[in-house]
Structure formats: structure tokens, C-alpha cells
A and B are shown apart, each in its own frame.
Chain A
């Protein structure tokens, strides 16, 4: 079946550090890939997405590139801020699928 694997963390970084959160997937079809972010006490918000191989999604300084050859969609940011502290979810939607498949989430804490 379809699945998403991501590092669960917690990941703790100092402000202005470089961030990478790994995400790999298994899919029976050709998926679209997403990163969602959940701030404390809130619902999930779409951060970025990519719908085909080699596409790069970007938003708020975050980037992720759809790598079909390695079945990966790693999230990166060059310089994190305290306000980036949140839980990050990688997810996929397969063509013809009924729903999203989410990874377990990665908790990020950024210290001043």
C-alpha cells in the first residue's frame, strides 16, 4: 500500500541553522506530494506541494523537490526562525486515490 516515512524527531536547532527533514514514500501510482505544518494548538496548514517529478515546491523560505528516482520529498530551509517551531507532516495523494496518506510528523523546535 501507499505509505510515507519521515524522521519523527524531535529536531532541535538553533535560530538561523539549516533545516532538513527527510521524507520518503512508497506509492502504487504516481503521487502528488505535500508538506503540511501544524503550529501548536492549531490545525494543519498546507506549506508547499509538488505534482510531478523534478517539481520544486516553495513557500515561506521552505523548499522541497519531488525526486522520483529516490522516491523522496525532503523539506529544507536555509535559516530557521523560532517561529518555525511546529510539527511538519509529509503527505501524498495518488492519482485516483481517495485520500491523503500522511507521515507521522516531525516536531521541530528552534531555540533562540
Chain B
């Protein structure tokens, strides 16, 4: 299994609170991704990174920001959490842009 961890695994927060989720990899893969998973939508890409300090927006990036200061860490920040951001968040990594993506265990976020 690819070495990907996510923290926290579960979080409950209140509307308007900033939240940061962390993805950590031990594979030295160049690409890292953040997805959210919602019923009926499958997984949708929020942001991705193609190197340290190199990031780009995905399909559903509004309300989210990311940072990657080291190869192994990719942070997702909800600047002011809303109830619509209640979801399960998955991090993924890949060696190259169109190569197989490997997923972390997920973070379940509830915004009250």
C-alpha cells in the first residue's frame, strides 16, 4: 500500500471556523490531490499540486485553499467552514499527471 496518511480522520466544527486538513506521503510522489466525496457525485477534485509551492484549482475549489511547502505534505484549508462543506475528504498521490492515483484513508468532516 502507498504510504499516505490523513489527519485528522474525523472532525466536527462550527460554521465560520477555519479548518485545516493534512495529507502526508512517504512515497516521494510529485503529484498530490484533494477530493471531496458526496453521495451521488462520486469524487470531485478540489485542488491539486504538481510540486512544492505549485498548485492549481480543480472542479470545486471555491471556499478552499491549499499549500505545499514540502514534497510530503499537502494541506487543505477551509477558510470559513460552511455546512455545504460537510463531506468526506480524500487525498491522493501519483508519480505523474496521468498515472494511477493512490488514495489516503479519508477525513470525515462535519460542519454544524
Q: Using Cβ atoms and an 8 Å threshold, which residues of chain B touch A8?
A: 40
Q: Using Cβ atoms and an 8 Å threshold, which residues of chain B touch A102?
A: 42-44
Given the interface pairs A93-B98, A98-B48, A100-B101, the reply to whether A43 lies near B40 with Cβ below 8 Å is no
Q: Using Cβ atoms and an 8 Å threshold, which residues of chain A touch B100?
A: 34, 46, 49
Contact between chains at B97 and A98 (CB < 8 Å): yes
Q: Using Cβ atoms and an 8 Å threshold, which residues of chain A touch B44?
A: 102
| A37 nearest CB across to chain B (Å) | 11
Which residues of A from 53 to 112 have beta carbons under 8 Å from B? 89, 91, 93, 95-100, 102-105
Contact between chains at B58 and A99 (CB < 8 Å): yes
Q: Who on chain B is nearest to A105 by CB?
A: B42
Q: Using Cβ atoms and an 8 Å threshold, which residues of chain A touch B40?
A: 8, 104
Q: Using Cβ atoms and an 8 Å threshold, which residues of chain A touch B43?
A: 44, 89, 100, 102
List 26 A–B pairs whose Cβ atoms lie within 8 Å, in order of A's numbering. A4-B42, A8-B40, A36-B103, A41-B105, A43-B90, A43-B105, A43-B106, A44-B43, A44-B90, A44-B92, A45-B103, A46-B102, A89-B43, A91-B42, A96-B98, A97-B97, A98-B45, A98-B48, A98-B56, A98-B58, A99-B58, A99-B59, A100-B43, A102-B42, A102-B44, A103-B42
Known pairs A41-B105, A44-B103, A45-B103; list 13 more (Cβ under 8 Å).
Answer: A43-B106, A44-B90, A49-B100, A98-B45, A98-B48, A99-B33, A99-B58, A100-B101, A102-B42, A102-B43, A103-B42, A104-B42, A105-B42
* B41 part of interface (Cβ distance < 8 Å): yes
Contact between chains at B104 and A43 (CB < 8 Å): yes
Bound Cα distance A91, B45 (Å): 13
Which residues of B from 43 to 100 have beta carbons under 8 Å from A? 43-45, 48, 56, 58-59, 90, 92, 97-98, 100
* A24 part of interface (Cβ distance < 8 Å): no
Q: Who on chain B is nearest to A31 by CB?
A: B98
Q: Who on chain B is nearest to A96 by CB?
A: B98
| A51 nearest CB across to chain B (Å) | 9
